[in-house]
Structure 1
Amino acid sequence: MSTQKLATQALHAGHDVKQNAGTRAVPIYQTTSYVFNDADHAANLFSLKELGFIYTRLNNPTNQILQDRLAAIEGGVGAVVFASGTGAIATGLLTLLKAGDHIVASSSLYGGTYNLLNVTLPRLGITTTFVDADNPANFGDAVQENTRAFFVESLGNPKLDVLDLEEISKHAKAAKVPFIVDNTVATPALLNPIKHGANIVIHSLTKYIGGQGTSLGGAIIDAGNFDWSNGKFPEFTEPSLGYHGLKYYETLGAASYTFKLILEGLRDFGGALSPTNAFQIIQGLETLSVRIKKHSENALALAKWLAEQDEVAWVNYPGLENNKYKPLADKYLPNGQSGVVTFGAKGGFEAAKAIANETKIFSLLANIGDTKSLIIHPSSTTHQQLNTEQQASAGVTEDLIRLSVGIEDLDDLKNDLKSAFAKIKKTVLT
């Protein structure tokens, strides 16, 4: 399958019809557990002498097809799916790190992720230094003796900063730590971080990959290109107390992290994706390459239109010629810059909230990546838990409105925003 293009892999990878009763569509295996052939078969599964299915918290045939498909399109050796994108991030980090460890992360992260790293993980003894990712050298400068991971978003939400992944990866290699990239906004249809030095890729499957706004899900893709035996990760080379003395790297090699996510992450934290949601997400994944093209086309056209409106103070979209990230977008996102656009409302905080209240096609809710267009005011919602300085580092200002541009007719989207502008022009938009 490795020679096939993404559009083909998104439809076929991981699904052997001969092993699934000839089903052309991926089946939903709605079961909690699996019957063993005999006691020896059960023992072999638990000891990893054979691979198979034991309990759906660990794995499931529907989930496995989704995992294999995601690994194929991102170029990894394996993937593991979770109940949500946040579940993937939290489980991925907690499976990898321990008390006393340190992360270097981009400051331009989604508010929930920022809060996880800034507030929740320190309670467990895991700290984070946030840096301005516009200068890749900041990552190297922030490395400490106990640094064990770099964490970034390939396309920041909602800052929309395009990161120079190749340059940041050089500092991760120098520090001998895995480079973790959340690729949710860009999607594998526009960008493959592994090709640019990433070791681990994370997705909120709830967003563009699912695409319909129906199902929560998350995923981690293991590139299989990190040396876990470099001395900084003894839990990969020493006998595991939680799995009968298993030495992950010695036994599983390049797929060590994938199996650790299953054998420890899913077993102990339990954030398993339901088979029904896996099925729904597979339906979305099959059309990702078609949808993301339309999302990107609509977003760029709408960004250009917004820049001409009197009610708009500024517009941010990496595909615009005057955008500071356009050179990096040309390098990393030449086939489209995804569907998120931000702009500032003249009139500031109250004007931005009022615009979000008045749109009819753009739905006011906390999500991105739906086929339907969405709108939100991050300063008062998704990033309200951050102080003013933290919001600014994440690219959030009081006047900022975030649009997740859907695949509707472009003229209808323009008219919807034009109508919202007109309704509040005499009151708060000045």
Structure 2
Amino acid sequence: MKRETIAIHGGYQVDPTTKAVAVPIYQTASYAFDSADHAAALFNLEADGFRYTRIQNPTTAVLERRVAALEGGLEALCVSSGQAAVNFAVQNVVELGCNLISVPQLYGTTHTLFAHVLPAQGVTVRFAASDHAEAIAKLIDDKTRAIFCESVGNPAGNICDLEALSKVAHDHGIPLIVDNTVATPVLLRPIEHGADIVVNSLTKFLGGHGTTMGGAIVDGGNFDWKAHASRFPAFSQPDPSYHGLVYTEHYGKAAYIARCRSVYQRTMGAVLSPLSSFLLLQGIETVALRVERHVENGRRVAEFLRTNPNVEWVRYAGFPESPYHALAQKYLDGQACSLMSVGIRGGYEGAMRFHDALNLVTRLVNLGDAKSLVCHPSSTTHRQMSPEEQRNAGVFPEMIRLSIGIEHIEDILDDLDQALRAAQPATPSTR
């Protein structure tokens, strides 16, 4: 099936008992066992079924199958937020004394996880000087366990060359983990370009309405954990916390998600509620249509901003002069995402005046909503970073991040126009 069809039908067949066409909400914490032997078989992972909603739930299972199909992956695990997805995806491959290599252009909270939280747990994160494969390659050593990037950076708008990064990763026997939140699987499937693990914040474009938190981890099923057992012994050696289970033997190509669910979801409990899974499924049904409108509105906004005298610069991969234009042609089918950053004339003060003068465009730190959204990254999402770290991540004082929604384009442009005029101080009259 094509992605538009998967978004509506993927992962679910009409309920055989009730004939429900919509995915039922299984609002239950636990599930009855037929017998003591049945319970033991479930907990020994010898039988398929549901044990406890912290581990798996029927409504969430449909969401997992649908997201995995959209990304072209083998298996998925859905958790309570996009940030939990990033954390679990990385924790599943690292251990004490090893390191992770990351591009510098990251969402602010991911940078905090990498720069402060993981190092406190004994895992070093090395930030490359750029998102180029050559900059990544020079940092890899025998302790490296993965390369991490955002397919389209938030808020930098850079596009990573996934084929080049995946080649570097695989040449060194490590996986490439890609955050695909901004691009979405509608515009880009990283697994088709060599990525091994893909994460998404379902809160953003996939959910699409700013109502429901959620995150997903998708395994492409292509990385051979057994062949690289010296780097990843946890997959091919008995797990003492799970009665000596060997994941690669028991699950084969599905070992990565199985371990992520058994070790991290089960014990750390970042659980996605069944109602949230249901709401996210409703959002996903229309994601392809919404992204089409997002992209078209984004193009119109970028063209308007580029010619406005109160704008110093616009970062938009759809412009031929963008350093990422060729990668947009390669990976996004010649399109550019509706997330963009813009430098307002007047520096920090000008950006603040523009930000506060908007009426239709909503001031908040979410993105990918049906509504048009605005934030000032250096004082919000990236505030905890030093000025140098902000610059490396592509964040500047005069920068505004816009997530263009699906409202009528003329209404969006009218609001941006009046806010840009309001952002510039009045010129004193002369006599």
Query: In the TM superposition, what whole-angstrom CA distance separates every residue of 1:390-411 from its partner, at most 9, and x where no partner exists?
Result: 1111110111000000001111
Summarize the alignment of residues 240-255 of structure 1 with structure 2, pairs less than 5 Å apart. Answer: 240-255=239-254
- 1:131 is aligned, of 128, 132, 150, to 128
Shift of 1:101: 1.4
Partner residue, 2:174: 177
Shift of 1:335: 5.6
Shift of 1:20: 6.0
Output the amino acid matched with 2:62: I
Partner residue, 1:300: 299
Q: How many residues align?
A: 425
Partner residue, 2:110: 113
TM-score by length of 2: 0.97
Partner residue, 1:45: 42
Shift of 1:321: 1.9
- 2:137 is aligned, of 135, 140, 147, to 140
Q: Report whether the alignment pairs 1:199 with 2:196.
A: yes
Partner residue, 1:81: 78
Distance 2:30 2:336 in 1: 42
Q: Report whether the alignment pairs 1:35 with 2:52.
A: no
Shift of 1:381: 1.0
Output the amino acid matched with 1:288: V
Query: In the TM superposition, what whole-angstrom CA distance separates every residue of 1:330-361 from its partner, at most 9, and x where no partner exists?
Result: 00001632210111000001110111111011
Shift of 1:250: 1.2
Partner residue, 1:340: 339
Distance 2:367 2:320 in 1: 24
Shift of 1:94: 1.7
Task: Specify the SS of the correspondent of 1:227.
Answer: coil
Distance 1:153 1:346 in 2: 28
Partner residue, 2:217: 220
Contact 1:298–1:410 under 8 Å retained in 2: yes
Distance 2:57 2:8 in 1: 19
Partner residue, 1:387: 386
Shift of 1:194: 0.2
Shift of 1:19: 4.0
Partner residue, 2:148: 151
Distance 2:133 2:92 in 1: 26
Task: Specify the SS of the correspondent of 1:96.
Answer: coil
Output the amino acid matched with 2:13: D
Question: Mean Cα displacement is larger for which, 320-329 or 214-223?
Answer: 320-329
Query: In the TM superposition, what whole-angstrom CA distance separates every residue of 1:123-154 from its partner, at most 9, and x where no partner exists?
Result: 00011111144421111111022100110000
Distance 1:26 1:361 in 2: 34
Distance 2:15 2:87 in 1: 36
Summarize the alignment of residues 341-420 of structure 1 with structure 2, pairs less than 5 Å apart. Answer: 341-420=340-419
Contact 1:20–1:27 under 8 Å retained in 2: no
Query: In the TM superposition, what whole-angstrom CA distance separates every residue of 1:156-196 from its partner, at most 9, and x where no partner exists?
Result: 00111011100010110011111100000000000000000
Contact 1:133–1:163 under 8 Å retained in 2: no
Partner residue, 1:262: 261
Task: Specify the SS of the correspondent of 1:103.
Answer: strand
Distance 2:63 2:167 in 1: 31
Identity percentage over the alignment? 43
Contact 1:191–1:333 under 8 Å retained in 2: yes
Q: Which runs of 5+ in 2 are unaligned?
A: none
Q: Report whether the alignment pairs 1:272 with 2:271.
A: yes
Contact 1:293–1:336 under 8 Å retained in 2: no
Distance 2:351 2:85 in 1: 32
Distance 1:205 1:20, change over 3 A: farther
Partner residue, 2:163: 166
Query: In the TM superposition, what whole-angstrom CA distance separates every residue of 1:53-97 from its partner, at most 9, and x where no partner exists?
Result: 000000000000000001111111100001000011112222221
Distance 2:89 2:273 in 1: 18
Output the amino acid matched with 2:98: D
TM-score by length of 1: 0.97
Task: Specify the SS of the correspondent of 2:240.
Answer: coil
Shift of 1:427: 5.1
Contact 1:317–1:341 under 8 Å retained in 2: yes
Partner residue, 1:24: 21
**CA RMSD, 1 decimal:** 1.1
Output the amino acid matched with 2:341: T
Output the amino acid matched with 2:99: H
Shift of 1:18: 3.7
Distance 1:320 1:397, change over 3 A: same
Contact 1:92–1:265 under 8 Å retained in 2: no
Task: Specify the SS of the correspondent of 1:66.
Answer: helix
Shift of 1:21: 2.5
Partner residue, 2:95: 98
Q: Which runs of 5+ in 1 are unaligned?
A: none
Task: Specify the SS of the correspondent of 2:313.
Answer: strand
Distance 1:19 1:150, change over 3 A: farther
